Amino acid sequence: MQPRPPIPGLRPDGGWDIPDRLNMAAQCLAQPRERVAIMDLTGEGRRDVTFGELSAMADALARHLLRRVAPGDRVGVLLSQSPWTAAAHLAIWKIGAISVPLFKLFKHDALQSRVGDAGAKLVLTDEEGAALLGDLATPLILPEALEGDEPPPDEPLPFADTGPEDPAVLIYTSGTTGRPKGALHGHRVLTGHLPGVAISHDHLGRPGDCLWTPADWAWIGGLFDVLMPGLALGVPVVAARIPKFSPEECVNIIREGTVRNVFFPPTALRMLKAAGTRLPGLRSVASGGEPLGAEMLEWGRGAFGLTINEFYGQTECNMVVSSCAADFPPRPGCIGKPVPGHEVEVIDAEGRPTAGEGDIAIRRGSPSMMLEYWRNPQATAEKFRGDWMLTGDRGIREGDYLRFIGREDDVITSAGYRIGPAEIEDCLLTHPAVATVGVVGKPDPLRTEIVKAYVVLKPGAGAGAEELREYVKKRLASYSYPREIEFVDALPMTVTGKVIRKELKRRAAAETEAERR
């Protein structure tokens, strides 16, 4: 048996390898200049972007930003997968500013809430993104905005003198309760991801490894489970645009990009399974967001010739639990074992580890843990129980393994996206015909759940389901509109006037069960 490779991000004694001064841009660009950083499939054919080229792109943009941005300022990044997306984040971190990833499927209201809350006056984007932004912020269209700049000097721009606790990236949650919250991370966040990313790919970084995900780089799963760890570990990352996931396009990208390691969201795996797709030649497949189950794991062995490694985390603290078929067998129903370096437990109401069902929690000290919710000390305090950060999920420890039971809150998991019902409810309530609304996830065999809205109209008002669907599509993300809308006379309410979503979820589940019969 071969000796286990060292785990990146950790010292030989198992402690975190985090220096006193740390800048993520420097961490990502520390590879030999001639090595391939990104395999770009976004244009005609394939273009290999070396670390030297990526560093020059980031440097040119950083010099431009220095005339407009100060350390600590928030700068939005509204771009799809491309080399310029990577360069944008690296340039922002290089000058000590804070990047704010934004998703191209966001519409006006969704962008407004995030850009406004972050106070981002400048957003790095393209023509399509500028149109989406409107007057919400000043767009800087790449790379056209740099064309009139002076040629850069021979000497590279120094990296800002930042430490691991200095803010670097502000990633917004899905808004499971109220408006989406900004999880503020320090420059240590990338180091915190490295062990989990490496073991979820059966020790990423072997000769020939090449990493890709269909997940957008605006989410923590695309940005810190794939792009930035790939750069930091010197593993080429494929950039490809898929407006809508299809098994055929997936096969093409894996072939053209010589991909060996893939992060597939669970919904992508189900679509591949439904299409009968087989992908031999991959070395590793990782998946996270929800448990896959024994049937999907067994299908993966036949379709890929390997065992899919499940992993677990969230925007506030990611990549803390993982499977690793190279090290230990998977256990169906479990999401793996705590990743080395992270202390993950199931705790009771007093914050003590329990042998029974309890709250999945992560002890303070994980580098991938957020610094705070952006300008929201109350929500930050509520996220913790003593030294433990609460995930909002329930689980059971089975020896070293962690079994996932379910969410404590009302988050909707649909087609790999985590969707907060409150933001959709708030949007629908601005429609002149809507009096009250409750939004929940309805079980769905393909998407895990679909968004369903129960709507009470105002007396004498009229609005159809299609009208309300389009209303949400134009204002929020195109994946978060309610696929089903049911008009009702009243909603179950608490004595304080809050919609009882648990009752609506039971009703939706019963509807799905009746439809299956």
The reported pLDDT for the residue numbered 217 is 96
Tokens linked to 375: 């300008």
The reported pLDDT for the residue numbered 313 is 94
Q: What is the Cα–Cα distance from 237 to 162, expressed in whole angstroms?
A: 26
44 φ, ψ (degrees, to nearest 5): -85, 120
The answer, yes or no, to whether residue 221 has pLDDT greater than 60, is: yes
- Nearest CA to 143 among 39, 61, 74, 76? 61
What is the average pLDDT across 91-117? 95
Bridge partners of 286, per DSSP, are: 263, 309
Q: Which CATH number fits domain 412-516: 3.30.300.30, 3.30.70.100, 3.10.560.10, 3.10.20.30?
A: 3.30.300.30
Lowest-pLDDT range, 58-62, 90-94, 338-342, 458-462? 458-462
Q: What is the Cα–Cα distance from 433 to 230, expressed in whole angstroms?
A: 49
What is the average pLDDT across 135-161? 92
No. of H helices and E strands in the chain? 15, 26
The answer, yes or no, to whether residue 10 has pLDDT greater than 80, is: yes
SS3 37: strand
What is the average pLDDT across 200-220? 96
Percentage of residues in the chain with pLDDT exceeding 70? 98
Distances in whole angstroms, Cα of residue 290 to Cα of each of 222, 266, 296, 333, 360 = 16, 7, 12, 10, 14
The answer, yes or no, to whether residue 74 has pLDDT greater than 80, is: yes
SS3 40: strand
Of residues 513 and 96, the one with the higher pLDDT is 96
Q: How confident is the model at residue 496 (pLDDT cuts 50, 70, 90)?
A: low
The reported pLDDT for the residue numbered 30 is 98
Location of each CATH 3.40.50.12780 domain in the chain: 22-186
The answer, yes or no, to whether residue 292 has pLDDT greater than 90, is: no
The reported pLDDT for the residue numbered 64 is 97
- Nearest CA to 105 among 21, 217, 196? 217
The reported pLDDT for the residue numbered 150 is 86
Domain spanning 22-186, CATH architecture: 3-Layer(aba) Sandwich (3.40)
Q: Is 247 exposed, middle or buried (0-12, 13-18, 19+ CB in 10 A)?
A: middle
Lowest-pLDDT range, 19-33, 87-101, 227-241, 277-291? 277-291
* Prediction pTM value: 0.88
The answer, yes or no, to whether residue 322 has pLDDT greater than 60, is: yes
The reported pLDDT for the residue numbered 1 is 46
Q: What is the Cα–Cα distance from 158 to 286, expressed in whole angstroms?
A: 36
The answer, yes or no, to whether residue 178 has pLDDT greater than 60, is: no
The reported pLDDT for the residue numbered 163 is 98
The reported pLDDT for the residue numbered 416 is 83
Of residues 408 and 178, the one with the higher pLDDT is 408
Read off the pLDDT of residues 157-172 as tens digits, 9 standing for 90 and up: 999 999 999 999 999 9
The mean of the pLDDT values for the chain is 93
Location of each CATH 3.30.300.30 domain in the chain: 412-516
Identity of the amino acid at 252:
N
Q: What is the Cα–Cα distance from 23 to 159, expressed in whole angstroms?
A: 7
Distances in whole angstroms, Cα of residue 67 to Cα of each of 70, 136, 282 = 8, 21, 45
Residues 6+ away with beta carbon under 8 Å from 233: 8, 194, 197, 198, 204, 205
